[in-house]
Amino acid sequence: MKTDDSKAIITGAGINFSFGQGELRKQILFDVELAIQPGEIVLLTGPSGSGKTTLLTLIAGLRKLQEGRLDVLGHSLHNASQADLLQLRRKIGFIFQAHNLLPYLTALQNVQVMFDLQPDVTIKEGRERATRMLQQVGLGERMNYHVSRLSGGQKQRVAIARALVGRPELVLADEPTAALDGTSGREVVNLLQSLAREQKRPILMVTHDVRVLDIADRIIEMQDGHLTASSRGSSSAENHPAKGVQNEPDIANVTL
Amino acid sequence: MSQRIPLAWLQLKHEKMKLFAAVAGVMVSVVLMWMQLGLMKALFASAVVFHGSMNGELVIVHSQYEHLLHSKVFSSRLLYRLRGSPDVSDVFSIYLAPGEWKNPWNGEMRSIQCYGIETDNASLKLPGIEQHLLQLRNTDVFLYDRMARPRFGDVVGAVERREPVELELNRRRMSLAGVVDLGASFGVDGNVLVSHANFLRLFPERKSGEIDVGVVKLMPGISVVSAQKQFQKVLGKEVQVLTVEQFKELELIYWRSATPIGIIFTAGTVVGFFIGFIVVYQILYTDVTNHLPQYATMKAMGFSDGYLYQLVLGQSVQLATMGFIPGSLIAAAMYAGLRKVTQLPLYMEPMRGVFLIFATILMCTFSGMLAVRKLRSADPADVF
């Protein structure tokens, strides 16, 4: 694995990606280049169909890289094996638009399940960490509720607890506020931001919810498969661990 | 990756109606399999009750003997050669032939199996036969099979009412000396036991000393196999010397090929297997389908396919267990009921139980494995 910047946790260059074959082939990503530093909160915005979710699935190791170079958390994704991708995904905390919690489990059990991915964590420790995590997201009182009895915002908070409890090296979030009303969406994003800051976890979040842009250190915009602009988010004025960011140009990658 | 939260069980438990339906499906399947296999075994067992009651270890029949209804006589003088052997404790001879029974109540004629047995020593190990042997020496008396089919008339009822029973057997006036348990089977609706002398009176065309079956009781501690070899050599090719098990097997081979019993009950068992298979498959398949987004999410988060397979297969094994236990209890109750009504030897045999445990687990695992294929369509890339 080689990266341009040894500190960056995600580096990519020359990424092209298409769906379909032959005449139906439709290119989604064009020569994308990006770098994300440790501890950074980066928002990826742009109109629907601009390719931001596709880029996210590539970074997550959920799709096979077709062209270009992409290194995530020390894994080179070019020609990576399924087993390697699985290992990568275990280091990532995922938050989805749909929470997709297991409906037959309680909030606590949904979070605890994550420790099946980390066999070295004992059952007792797993339960304690899951409990603390749920208290942090404000669900200490409802840990033993089945998720069907929780509201949309509460479910998304369980999903955040589930994503962070395993101490991931990177958090990927896809429209985490899309299914929520303004207030719950705000709460969820604030929570995500404060937890990420506390745990020094980098976040890459796809969103077109303009109400939450202020949590970002950096905002990357996408249009028709191109990264068009990168601007410093309002949050970057505050001190945060990723010093490297400030030394770099604001416009990280602009292509075509 | 092992599961520390009992996901399989929690998922099953979550939807009670579905769980109930799945368990009921497995139960029906288990009961069906118990019944089919039990009845098949019992029907075949009923065909060899006589064979199993031989009071000896070796049986001698004509070399062309095929089964009880297709016997061939041989000279009882051959048996005398064995009497001198120090290995032999006793030798018995048995005549057999189908007789014409006239139902004393409605006058109908029925064929009934007649055995001519020795009366100074019990050649058959039937409970209660000893007390009747002395009476059996009288002229024109017989022992009746308590478990014969009712078409022969209510002989048992008459005995219970202590009424004397007299009737015509092969157009000869006979009177009842008592009852023993033998039982009806495929080719035989009932049995009658008489002494050698009375047998020859009933069947005047049969010659004294031309017997159908010889029974050899060995001295204690004598090897059955080596005695069998030795006697076969001594007696020559006219007869075959069989162990009791071989004697039974010969009868079963015939009935297995002559009747569709084996096929019918095996098919019934397979049907039972498939009922359970399909019910469990349906339930697990819909479950997997309903939870596909969740499973795709788990895959995206780094849970392996194996982890999810384990979840679904865990549910199959749990369904198998939950269906097997009550299913077997129901089958035990039905066995007991049928045993009372039909006199068939239906018992919860441990070996059959072990076989059915495996069949049930196999059935559920098959359904699980088929349902699990649906998991492949859970594409983690689709959750975003």
CA distance B205 to B5: 81
Q: Where do runs of H (alpha helix) occur along A14-151? A: 52-59, 82-90, 107-112, 123-136
Residues above pLDDT 90, as percent of chain B: 68
Lookup: tokens for A155: 């479910």
Tell me what pLDDT residue A185 has. Answer: 83
B291 at interface of A, judged by CB pairs closer than 8 A: yes
pLDDT of B1 above 90: no
In this structure, are strands B213-218 and B210-211 parallel, antiparallel, or unpaired? Answer: unpaired
CA distance B242 to B229: 10
Tell me what pLDDT residue A235 has. Answer: 60
Q: pLDDT tens digits for B280-331?
A: 999 999 988 988 888 999 999 999 988 999 999 999 999 999 999 999 999 9
Residue A116 lies in a domain: no
B310 at interface of A, judged by CB pairs closer than 8 A: no
Nearest by CB to B301, from A94, A98, A174: name it.
Answer: A94
A86 chain-B contacts, CB cut-off 8 A: 302, 304
Q: pLDDT tens digits for B361-375?
A: 999 999 999 998 888
- Mean per-residue pLDDT, A153-158: 89
Q: pLDDT tens digits for B151-204?
A: 899 999 999 998 888 999 999 999 999 999 988 887 889 999 999 999 999 999
Are the beta carbons of B96 and B199 closer than 8 angstroms?
no
Q: Which of A113, A118, A111, A117 is nearest to A135 (CA)?
A: A111
Q: pLDDT tens digits for B249-267?
A: 999 999 888 888 888 999 9
pLDDT of A113 above 90: yes
A97 chain-B contacts, CB cut-off 8 A: 384
Tell me what pLDDT residue B333 has. Answer: 96
Residue A227 lies in a domain: yes
Q: In chain B, where are the structural domains located?
A: 7-46+260-383, 64-237
Residue A239 lies in a domain: yes
User: Helix, strand, coil: what percent of chain B each, to 5?
Assistant: 55, 20, 25
Are the beta carbons of B44 and B344 closer than 8 angstroms?
no
Tell me what pLDDT residue A78 has. Answer: 87
Q: Which of A168, A174, A160, A170 is nearest to A205 (CA)?
A: A174
CA distance B204 to B170: 10
Is residue B300 helix, strand or coil?
Answer: helix
Pairwise CB contact (< 8 Å): B1 & A174: no
Find the range with the poorest average confidence among A132-146, A231-245, B32-46: A231-245
In this structure, are strands B191-195 and B109-117 parallel, antiparallel, or unpaired? Answer: parallel
B4 at interface of A, judged by CB pairs closer than 8 A: yes
User: In this complex, how many residue pairs, one in chain A and one in chain B, have their CB atoms less than 8 Å apart?
Assistant: 79
pLDDT of A246 above 50: no
Q: pLDDT tens digits for A31-79?
A: 999 999 888 899 999 888 888 889 999 999 998 899 999 999 989 998 8
- Mean per-residue pLDDT, B217-222: 94
Q: At what angle do helices B7-14 and B16-47 cross, to 10 degrees?
A: 100
Pairwise CB contact (< 8 Å): B4 & A116: yes
Nearest by CB to A60, from B7, B14, B300: name it.
Answer: B300
Taking residue B87's Cβ as centre, other Cβ atoms within 10 Å add up to 15
Tracing tokens 């976040």 back to the chain, one arrives at A203
Pairwise CB contact (< 8 Å): A104 & B11: yes
pLDDT of B231 above 50: yes
- Mean per-residue pLDDT, A128-152: 91
pLDDT of B147 above 90: no
Which region holds residue B107: left if phi is over 0, alpha if psi is between -120 and 50, else beta? left
- Mean per-residue pLDDT, A190-197: 84
CA distance B209 to B226: 27
Q: How confident is the model at residue B23 (pLDDT cuts 50, 70, 90)?
A: very high
B290 at interface of A, judged by CB pairs closer than 8 A: no
CATH number at residue A229: 3.40.50
B7 at interface of A, judged by CB pairs closer than 8 A: yes
CA distance B22 to A183: 43
Tracing tokens 């009412």 back to the chain, one arrives at B161
Which residue of A lies nearest to B16 if distances are taken between CA atoms? A104
Name the phi and psi angles at A73, rounded to 5. 50, 40
Supply the range of the domain harboring residue A83: 1-38+46-91+215-256
pLDDT of A197 above 90: no
Q: How confident is the model at residue A245 (pLDDT cuts 50, 70, 90)?
A: very low
CA distance B364 to A234: 58
Pairwise CB contact (< 8 Å): A90 & B302: yes
Pairwise CB contact (< 8 Å): B1 & A119: yes
Counting the structural domains of chain A, the total is 1
Query: What is B171-186 written as a DSSP string?
Result: TEEEEEEEEE-----S
Distance (Å) from the alpha carbon of A237 to chain B's nearest alpha carbon: 31
pLDDT of B55 above 70: yes
B380 at interface of A, judged by CB pairs closer than 8 A: yes
CA distance B230 to A16: 89
Name the phi and psi angles at A67, rounded to 5. -145, 140
B2 at interface of A, judged by CB pairs closer than 8 A: yes
Tell me what pLDDT residue B380 has. Answer: 82
Q: What is the H or E stretch that residue B276 is in?
A: helix B261-290
Q: What is the mean pLDDT of chain B?
A: 91
Lookup: tokens for B152: 């022969």
Mutating which of A88, A113, A148, A160 best tests the B interface, going by the most B Cβ atoms within 10 A? A113
Of A147 and A183, more confident:
A147
Sign of CA dihedral B169, B172, B176, B181: negative
Residue A31 lies in a domain: yes
Q: How confident is the model at residue B2 (pLDDT cuts 50, 70, 90)?
A: low
